[in-house]
Chains A and B, each alone.
Chain A
Amino acid sequence: MSLKIAILSGKGGTGKTTVSTNLAKVLSKNMKVLLLDADVEEPNDHLFYNVTFEEEKSVDVLIPKVNKETCILCGLCARECQFGAINVFEKGVLVFQNLCHGCGVCSKICPVRAIDEEPKSLGKLKFGKTDFFDFGMGLLNIGEPSGVRIIRELKKYISDDYDVTIIDAPPGTSCPVVEVLQKVDFAVLVTESSPFGLHDLKLAVSLVKEMEIPYGVVINRYDPAFAELTEYLGEEKIPLLMKIDFDKEIAKWYSEGKLIVDQSEELHRNFELLYENITEVLV
């Protein structure tokens, strides 16, 4: 069986990258692993590994290009565009590229076929290998509004050849995260011991529930003094998969780009248990 696990968090900075990169390493000991960094605005997973990239390709959208000679300035394109991305003035037609979704409505609607479409790059995909597993990442171009398309293309690297695919999602609970969650088998929600962590965790929980995806929680920077979090998990019967204690040493390893499972045998063992707990929830 090929298992697809998404790593999410209500907000950034809770330790998603830590969980993804370390889990991938631990599992690669006995399994064929693929790690996909779908946090396309700020991909960081590659900083923890020596990646040899073998493939790079651009992800494009089709942007309208208006032929001035043919256009009769009828204004239909501007009226039908749902995103306000094309405007008709007395002197011609202007396309706002960063508002355009590349949907094709304007070229379809133009009565005199004055609109051609040409590709514009939204970002890119990179694929390669670390010493332990295969790795892919997406990178959104600066100034582009949404990484959804890039994530959709990135997920096409998933195949049955892998025993496990780990997808590091963008933070939050909006559209790109939903794109990550489409057709995954399990979601790991990473949170931390604080009112912020709890607030954002609840949002993430409502999303995975709505999408009917089995899930469990990892508490990072665990602090027993903040009991509300474990109380909430208990009341809602949400499986707690792993706790990582609050530890300055761990923060330091992270800041140096080191994998924490390489630094401590106990943490290594904990990540193995994390996987066992995931499979237990799934049966």
Chain B
Amino acid sequence: MKQIAIISGKGGTGKTTLSASLSYLFQNPVMSDCDVDASNLHLLLSPVELKQNYEYYGGKKAEIDYEKCTNCGICKDKCRFEAIDFQQDKYVINEYACEGCKLCVLTCPEKAIKLVENLAGYYYESKSPKGVLVHGDLNPGEETSGGLVAEIRKKSFSVGENLKKDVIIIDGAPGIGCPATSSVAGVNYAIIVTEPTLSGFHDLQRAVETLKKMRVKFGVVINKFDLNESVSSSLEEWCFSENIDLLGKIPFDEMVNLATREAKPIILYEDSISSKYIKSIYQKISQILFNK
């Protein structure tokens, strides 16, 4: 079973549109939406029917027992995350800033603090017209999205093994932080989707550096390449000079907006110009992955 991750330096470059289209082109995939901050793949693979949901506990949070607390303030001084404030005559834990490290628990002379488990989100196994989709939602304000991504990856993998699938298609988290690296760790191939803008170029370089560091094989897709042909060709030249596979370019296509509005992958619009380009990108990828 091969795992392919679609990522981008930044969100909004067309990553989910491409992921959804690829999940139609690959014959037998498991879909895995690891963009837990903005999980959108289910919107394009609809109707999605929930089969199973799981709770995700990520990290712990400190809690003060005010029966025991003597207001000494040692915890506030010691916490390195500025997570304890003095408010209205007492010390309070700021749940957003607390990383659950336990230092306050260990330093409180009155043993007034303990760590409690924190329900950080949910993940789901769903049925879509294209097969199984594993996706999740982090509760707003939570930090451990990398952990949730890892759970989704694990679940997708076991589903794939059980159903004897050939491919897992991962819609990755944007950026280069922990959720992004969790979505690409150990995949067979990554596709970076970029746009011909100055910011897009900048983000692409950071994504490439990250993947090189992680020793993941990858190629690049330039979306909406004709929006700025000169930036697009410098992107291309850069890829060439860095020896990076250019998997293909996709032109700006008004149909994509229509497709997104109708919540369908663009590949279902047979006569759309971008779906032709996406098909050729698909062929390149399957050649790289399966030698066919």
Contacts and interface: CB of A to CB of B under 8 A. Distances in A.
B133 to A, nearest CB: 15
Interface string B172-195: 001111110100000000000001
Nearest to A80: B102
B227 A105 contact: no
A47 B11 contact: no
A268 B206 CA distance: 32
Given A194-B261, A206-B140, A44 B199 contact: yes
Which of B40, B137, B140 has the largest count of A CB atoms less than 10 A from its CB? B140
B9 A42 contact: yes
B39 to A, nearest CB: 8
B260 A255 contact: no
Contacts of B203: 42, 44
Interface residues of B, number: 63
Contact of B106 (A80, A204, A252): A80
B29 interface: no
A239 to B, nearest CB: 20
Given A47-B199, A108-B107, A12 B143 contact: no
Interface stretch (B92-100, B157-165, B267-275): B92-100
B10 A196 contact: no
Interface in B70-129: 78, 80-82, 96-97, 99-103, 106-107, 115
Interface string A103-131: 11100110000000000000000000000
B64 interface: no
A187 to B, nearest CB: 13
A246 B257 CA distance: 10
A51 to B, nearest CB: 14
A172 B40 contact: no
A32 interface: no
Given A42-B9, A171-B11, A194-B260, A82 B176 contact: no
B140 A203 contact: yes
Given A11-B12, A82-B102, A255-B231, A42 B140 contact: no
A83 B100 CA distance: 9
Contacts of A105: 101-103, 106
Contact of B141 (A44, A147, A174): A174
Nearest to A83: B101
Interface string A45-56: 001000000000
Contact of A172 (B37, B197, B227, B260): B37
A223 interface: yes
A195 B106 CA distance: 47
B202 interface: yes
A147 B176 CA distance: 11
Given A171-B37, A207-B141, A102 B80 contact: yes
Contact of B10 (A12, A83, A108): A12
A13 B141 contact: no
The main secondary structure of chain A at its interface with chain B is loop
B40 A255 contact: no
A103 B43 contact: no
Chain A interface residue bracket vs B:
35 or more
A10 B36 CA distance: 11
Nearest to B209: A142
A42 B10 contact: yes
A223 B200 CA distance: 24
Interface stretch (A65-73, A87-95, A175-183, A272-280): A175-183
B198 A148 contact: no
Given A140-B177, A173-B37, A252-B228, 7 more contacts: A105-B106, A142-B176, A142-B213, A145-B178, A171-B175, A195-B40, A196-B16
Interface of A: 10-14, 17, 41-42, 44, 47, 62, 80, 82-83, 101-105, 108-109, 140, 142-148, 152, 170-175, 177-179, 182, 193-196, 199-200, 203-204, 206-207, 210-211, 223, 225-226, 246, 248, 251-252, 254-257
The 10 A-B pairs at the shortest CB distance, nearest first, are namely A13-B12, A12-B11, A175-B143, A172-B37, A103-B101, A11-B38, A145-B178, A207-B140, A255-B197, A44-B199
Interface of B: 9-13, 16, 35, 37-38, 40, 43, 59-60, 78, 80-82, 96-97, 99-103, 106-107, 115, 137-138, 140-143, 145-146, 174-179, 181, 195-200, 202-203, 206, 209-210, 213, 224, 227-228, 231, 252, 257, 260-261, 263
